[in-house]
């Protein structure tokens, strides 16, 4: 495995399995993240699939997550909240809030 392109020389660069790397390049348009060790946020712009054009924002503080999805124009919110909630809770995460717009 190798670091994501452009991160080869960065200390602590994450190495992705080749299949995951290919999937991310097909589905994700842009990613931004930051944090201070106690809390963090990530903003992911979806570029492919059923949510193409959507923006997913995740905030984590301590052990709680807040998730917001801004759907693309004409996107349908049907079932997304329940689907995300089921998956995150099924992984044992403490979900504080989900907003789908």
Domain residue spans of the chain: 14-100
**Could you tell me the pLDDT band of residue 63, with boundaries at 50, 70 and 90?**
confident
pLDDT (tens digit per residue) in 19-34: 777 777 778 888 898 9
Q: What is the mean pLDDT of the segment spanning 78-92?
A: 89
- Give yes or no for residue 3 having a pLDDT over 60: no
C-alpha 53/C-alpha 74 separation (Å) is: 10
Q: How many residues does the chain have?
A: 101
In the numeric block, which tokens belong to residue 18?
């080749």
Compute the average pLDDT of residues 22-50.
86
The alpha carbon dihedral of 69, 22, 88, 66 has a sign of negative
Q: How many CB atoms sit inside 10 A of residue 22's CB?
A: 11
């Amino acid at each position: 495995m190798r670091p994501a392109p452009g991160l080869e020389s960065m200390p602590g660069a994450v190495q992705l399995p080749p299949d995951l790397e290919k999937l991310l390049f097909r589905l994700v348009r842009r990613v931004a993240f930051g944090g201070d060790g106690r809390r963090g946020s990530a903003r992911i712009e979806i570029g492919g699939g059923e949510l193409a054009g959507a923006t997913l924002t995740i905030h984590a503080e301590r052990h709680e997550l807040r998730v917001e999805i801004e759907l693309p124009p004409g996107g349908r919110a049907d079932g997304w909240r329940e689907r995300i909630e089921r998956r995150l809770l099924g992984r044992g995460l403490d979900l504080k809030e989900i907003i789908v717009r």
